[in-house]
Amino acid sequence: MDDRAARVVSKGDHACAGGLGREQSGGLSSLAMGQDAPPKKGTTSNRYTVRKPALSKSKSSTRTSADLGTLPIRADEQLGKLLESIRDAHGLPGMIGAIVRGDTLAGIGAAGIRKIGSAEPMLVQDQVHIGSCTKPMTATLIGMLVDDGLLTWSSMIRDVFPEVASRLHPDFQTATLADLLTHRAGLPHDASWGRLPGLTTTDQRRSALLALLSKPPLTRPGTVYAYSNAGYVMAGLMAEQVSGQSWEELIQQRLFDPLGMTSAGFGPPGQSNRDRIDQPWGHREMFGRFEPVLRDNAPCMGPAGTVHCSVPDWGKFAALHLRGAEGKARLLKPATFRTLHTPPPGSDYAGGWTVVERSWAGGRTLSHNGSNTYWYASIWIIPAFDFATLVATNQAGSAAEAACEDATRELISYATDLRRARETRR
C-alpha cells in the first residue's frame, strides 16, 4: 500500500484490498475526513457450502422486498451526461451512479462501455463489483444473528470456537465480535488468502482463523483501529459457526432474498466468455495501460469484499440503512441499527460504516468505499436529507478513486438541488 493510500485508510475511508494483486485503497478524503464544506458543483458465482445442518429461517429472513418499496430503473439522461463528463475526464471505461431517496431510486445514469475493446455500452441495470462495500452487508447479516440471540456484540472468539481455543494466542481469545466489526481486533490487513487449505470457503476461513490468531495480535484487541479484511472474514466465520450455514448461504437467504436483490452474487460479474460481453468487466493496469479482466479476490474473502450486484439492487441495501438511520427499522431491530451506526469512542468506523458529522450533510453521514483492484465503488448515506448516493466504475486505481469522488460530489449536489426544489414547491 502506498503512503497516500495508507493515510487515507487510517483516516477512515476504506476499500477492499484484493488478494490477487497489489493493495488498492483510498477514497473520499475531502468529503469524509477533510474539508467540512458543501460539495462543489462543476467538477468533473458459485455457492460454497459448509457441511452442517441448516439454520431454520427466522421471521426476519422471510420478509419480502416489498417491505422496502419498489426501486424502478429509470435512466436519467442528465445524470448520464454528468457521469459521461467525469468518465471522460478521468479516462475510465464505464461508470454508473445513482441517488436513492427514502425507498425510491430517485435517479440513475450510466456512461461508457462494459469492456475496453468492446462497443457494448454500460447500462444502468448492469452488475458492478462493490469490493469492501460488502462489509456493511456482512455487518448487517451479523446484526440479524444478534437479534436472533445466536451472537452478541461481546461474543468472544474463545467462546464461539471452543474446539480450537487452546490453539489461539491468549491475547486473541477475549477479542470480541464488536472488535472485529470495528477493525479493533489487532489483526493484520490480510492473510495469504489464495493459499489457505480447505475444500470450501468455510474450511479456508477456518484455516485463516488458526493461521492468524495463533500468533500475537499486532495491538491489544479493543484498543487500536487498524483496517482489516481479515477481521471481517473472521466475523463472517463466527456467523457460520453459530448458524451452521456458510456466509454465502446466510447473506443470500437473510439479506439478498428479503431485499429482492436478485442480481447479487459473488465474484466478478459476467461470464468468462470473450465473445459474449453480458456484463461489465473489471480492468487492471499493465505496463501503463488498462486491460479487461474477469478476476476477483479469493472466494474465501467473501465477508470482506466479493459481492457484485446491480446498482438498483445495491440501492435497496442503501435504502435499508437510510431508513434505519432515520428510525424506520426493517429487518433489524432499531437498537441494532444504532449499534451498527455508532463507532466506539475515539473512532469513526462502526459496524461496516465510516461515520462522520458534516455540516453540509446536516449532521451524520455513513459511507464506505470498495475496490478489488479491478473495480472501484463508493456509497454515501445522508440521513438528515433522506438520500443516499452510489457510484461504481469498472476500473481501479487513482483515476477511478478520483472519478468516484467527483461523481459523488455531483450526485450529492444534484440530490440537494432536487430536495431544495421540492421544498420550494411546497
Q: What is the pLDDT of residues 313-352, one digit of tens each?
A: 999 999 999 999 999 999 999 999 999 999 999 999 999 9
Q: What's the pLDDT score for residue 75? A: 85
For domain 3-58+78-97+104-374+400-425, the CATH class is alpha beta
- Kindly state the average pLDDT of the residues 302-316: 98
Confidence of residue 42 (pLDDT cuts 50, 70, 90): very low
Q: What's the pLDDT score for residue 99? A: 97
pLDDT(66) > 60: no
Nearest to 375 by CA among 311, 313, 320: 311
pLDDT(1) > 50: no
pLDDT(45) > 50: no
Contacts of 403 (CB under 8 A, 6+ apart): 86, 87, 89, 90, 92, 95, 376, 393
- Kindly state the average pLDDT of the residues 2-31: 36
- Kindly state the average pLDDT of the residues 351-378: 96
pLDDT, one tens digit per residue, over 154-201 is 999 999 999 999 999 999 999 999 999 999 999 999 999 999 999 999
Q: Which three cell numbers stand for residue 183?
A: 477493525
Q: What's the pLDDT score for residue 362? A: 92
CA 58 to chain centre: 24
- Kindly state the average pLDDT of the residues 209-213: 97
CA atoms within 13 A on the CB side of 215: 10
Q: What's the pLDDT score for residue 51? A: 30
More confident residue, 5 or 143: 143
Strands 94-101 and 282-286: what pairing? unpaired
More confident residue, 7 or 113: 113
Q: What's the pLDDT score for residue 38? A: 41
The values of phi and psi at residue 212, to 5°, are -85, -40
Q: Residue 112 forms beta bridges with which residues?
A: 94
Alpha-carbon distance of 326 to 108, in angstroms, equals 23
Q: Which three cell numbers stand for residue 281?
A: 468487466
Alpha-carbon distance of 370 to 26, in angstroms, equals 9
Q: What's the pLDDT score for residue 276? A: 76
Contacts of 286 (CB under 8 A, 6+ apart): none
Q: What's the pLDDT score for residue 287? A: 83
pLDDT, one tens digit per residue, over 223-255 is 999 999 999 999 999 999 999 999 999 999 999
Q: Give the three-state DSSP class for 101.
A: strand
Q: Please check whether residue 348 is in contact with residue 366, taking contact to mean a CB–CB distance below 8 angstroms.
A: no
Q: Give the three-state DSSP class for 358.
A: strand
Q: What's the pLDDT score for residue 78? A: 93
The values of phi and psi at residue 339, to 5°, are -65, -45
Contacts of 108 (CB under 8 A, 6+ apart): 73, 74, 75, 76, 79, 96, 97, 98, 99, 124, 311, 312, 315
| pTM given for the model | 0.86
- Kindly state the average pLDDT of the residues 136-148: 98
Q: What's the pLDDT score for residue 6? A: 29
Average pLDDT in the chain = 85
Alpha-carbon distance of 222 to 136, in angstroms, equals 20
Contacts of 127 (CB under 8 A, 6+ apart): 263, 265, 269, 270, 279, 280, 308, 309, 310
Nearest to 12 by CA among 303, 357, 326: 357
- Kindly state the average pLDDT of the residues 207-228: 97
What does the H/E/C string look like for 50-96? CCCCCCCCCHHHHCCHHHHCCCCCCECHHHHHHHHHHHHHHCCCEEE
Nearest to 74 by CA among 52, 104, 118: 104
More confident residue, 181 or 56: 181
The values of phi and psi at residue 101, to 5°, are -120, 115
Q: Give the three-state DSSP class for 329.
A: coil
Confidence of residue 100 (pLDDT cuts 50, 70, 90): very high
Q: What's the pLDDT score for residue 422? A: 64
Q: What's the pLDDT score for residue 242? A: 98
pLDDT(110) > 90: yes
CA 39 to chain centre: 23
